[in-house]
Structure 1
Amino acid sequence: MEALLAQRIRIFVESGQVRSDIADFVRAELDALSADGCVITEETAGMLTSHLLLALTRLRNGEPVEEFRADDIAAAELADHPHAVRRAHAVSVRTERAFGSPLPESEINFLAMHFALLRRDTP
């Protein structure tokens, strides 16, 4: 993993914002994306990393997760990226196995948008 992206995760853990098991889960997800050919750097995946770290922390703490309202443009974007939607659903399944609760549909949609953008930005 790129040093800057690893540092981002480390800062979340060391500041007490994120538990180490959540950081490990996110690292594994980033490694899987990299293995699938996505370029995973601070620039391409920094926002995805922060979002997933905090979403999983909110889920684990029983706090509300981000609301994602799919307007027509976002819905069309997701329709054009079924792989991103499938990946987001798979993350939710792994989240349920690891932490006991799946991600809500609004969070799955938000992750799918991140994955679609990541795929778009990978040469």
Structure 2
Amino acid sequence: MDQRLAQRLQLFRDSDHVRPQAVAFVTDELAALTAVGYTVTEDTAGMLTSHLVNALTRLLDGEPIEQFLTDEQVAAELAERPEAVERARATAARAERELGARLPESEVNFLAMHLAVLAQRSSPSTPSAS
């Protein structure tokens, strides 16, 4: 993880607006992505980081997460990225198990899109699925 992404996470840790356990969970997920070969930097994972920290905080605070319909273009993109969908579902399952935060299907799809972009921006070697 690069310094800028570490700073983003530190800003979240220092904030009174997000749950510490959400930041810890996302930090662990980023480390796991790095461990399997993704290039995890501010440029490649900054938006993913912010989105997931905020979504998990809203869930932990009992706030609703706006549902959105997955349009045909998103569905087609996800169909071509089964590894991103699989990883998003695994992340969502861990969030539910470890935090009690159940991500709705639309959020899982959004997370899968972030992961597909991350995979595309990562180093030439394809990250292993795990």
> How many angstroms does 1:66 deviate by?
4.0
- SS of 1:69 mapped into structure 2: coil
Q: TM-score, normalised by structure 1?
A: 0.94
Unpaired stretches in structure 1, ≥5 consecutive residues? none
Aligned counterpart, 2:122: 122
Contact 2:18 2:53 in 1 (8 A): yes
Q: Deviations over 1:8-51 (max 9, x none)?
A: 01112212121222111101000111111110000000000000
Greater RCO structure (CA 8 Å; 6+ sep): 2
> How many angstroms does 1:95 deviate by?
0.6
Change (3 A) 1:66 1:4: farther
- SS of 1:107 mapped into structure 2: helix
Contact 2:21 2:99 in 1 (8 A): no
Contact 2:48 2:114 in 1 (8 A): yes
Q: TM-score, normalised by structure 2?
A: 0.89
Letter of the structure 2 residue corresponding to residue 75 of structure 1: A
Unpaired stretches in structure 2, ≥5 consecutive residues? 124-130
Q: Say how many residue pairs are matched.
A: 123
Identity %: 54
Letter of the structure 2 residue corresponding to residue 83 of structure 1: E
Contact 1:68 1:110 in 2 (8 A): no
Aligned counterpart, 1:50: 50
How do residues 19-58 of structure 1 correspond to structure 2 at under 5 angstroms? 19-58=19-58
How do residues 7-22 of structure 1 correspond to structure 2 at under 5 angstroms? 7-22=7-22
Cα RMSD after superposing both structures: 1.1
Q: Deviations over 1:36-83 (max 9, x none)?
A: 111000000000000000000011011112433211111100000001
User: Which stretch of the first structure deviates more once superposed, 53-62 or 12-21?
Assistant: 12-21
Contact 2:78 2:84 in 1 (8 A): yes
How do residues 74-85 of structure 1 correspond to structure 2 at under 5 angstroms? 74-85=74-85
User: Which stretch of the first structure deviates more once superposed, 58-67 or 36-45?
Assistant: 58-67
Change (3 A) 1:46 1:36: same
Q: Deviations over 1:63-107 (max 9, x none)?
A: 112433211111100000001001111011101111123211011
